[in-house]
Amino acid sequence: MDPDMNKYDLEHPCTGHPLMSKETWMRVYADAWQRYYTDEHVETIMRRAIVSGINRTKVLDSLTIFAGAARIEGVHPLQFGFLRRKVRTQRRYGMPVPHPLVFYPWRLVDFLNVTSQWLRLIWRYRRIMARVASDPAARTHFDEALRPHTAPGETDHFVEIFADKIPHTHGAPLRPAAVAAAE
């Protein structure tokens, strides 16, 4: 186990892998994000959203944030924040505080670099969404992920079995007692 508690996040391996070195494991992790968020797969997700009636803007924004957080910022999307605040004097224990004449020019270049990468990603994904939305075949797209897992008129037994354990929230399935009371 890694003694540095700062590494216990969603990006750093904290224990040894039986088959991979630490460097290989980190490269595989980063590669997984790259492989999932290819432009082709992002387009497929957008086509599925259109067919399913999901709000295109929400899908577009989510795809942009999830792809960019890992690819541009190097952090898991759940740890991401726009305009990351990097303060020169706030360093981990044992890390030297950089000199202001080194830190601030670096921070300016880093900010401009990251901002340009974000703008390019947003522009590229918006172009993909515009192309998908204008495609007449977009509403008829079908792939294995859109195949229903139950036959028409058949209920999902998984949901039936665990319905009493699902908290009553907006969109949650109605429990058998609630269905009977509603009738």
Is the residue at 39 inside a domain?
Answer: no
Is the residue at 177 inside a domain?
Answer: yes
pLDDT band at residue 22, thresholds of 50, 70 and 90?
A: confident
Is the residue at 169 inside a domain?
Answer: yes
Is the residue at 40 inside a domain?
Answer: no
Is the residue at 93 inside a domain?
Answer: no
Find the domain containing 153 and state its range: 148-183
pLDDT band at residue 138, thresholds of 50, 70 and 90?
A: confident
Q: How many residues does the chain have?
A: 183
Q: CA–CA distance from 155 to each of 85, 97, 143, 164, 173 (Å)?
A: 49, 61, 22, 16, 11
Q: What is the pLDDT of residues 41-66, one digit of tens each?
A: 999 999 999 998 889 999 999 999 99
Is the residue at 182 inside a domain?
Answer: yes
Lowest-confidence segment of 15-29, 78-92, 94-108, 133-147 by average pLDDT: 78-92
Q: CA–CA distance from 105 to each of 68, 98, 110 (Å)?
A: 24, 11, 8
Number of domains in the chain: 1
Q: Are 41 and 107 in contact (CB under 8 A)?
A: no
Q: Determine the pLDDT at residue 143.
A: 83
Tokens of 44: 């497929």
| pLDDT over 80 at 83, yes or no | no
Q: Determine the pLDDT at residue 170.
A: 63
Is the residue at 126 inside a domain?
Answer: no
Which of 135-139, 142-146, 163-167 tops mean pLDDT?
135-139
pLDDT band at residue 82, thresholds of 50, 70 and 90?
A: confident
Q: Are 156 and 149 in contact (CB under 8 A)?
A: yes
Is the residue at 71 inside a domain?
Answer: no
Backbone φ and ψ of 14, nearest 5°: -115, 0
Percent of the chain residues topping a pLDDT of 70:
87
Lowest-confidence segment of 32-36, 41-45, 176-180 by average pLDDT: 176-180
Query: Average pLDDT over the chain, rounded to whole?
Result: 84
Q: Determine the pLDDT at residue 177.
A: 57
Q: What is the pLDDT of residues 84-108, one digit of tens each?
A: 778 888 887 888 999 999 999 999 9
Q: Determine the pLDDT at residue 183.
A: 54
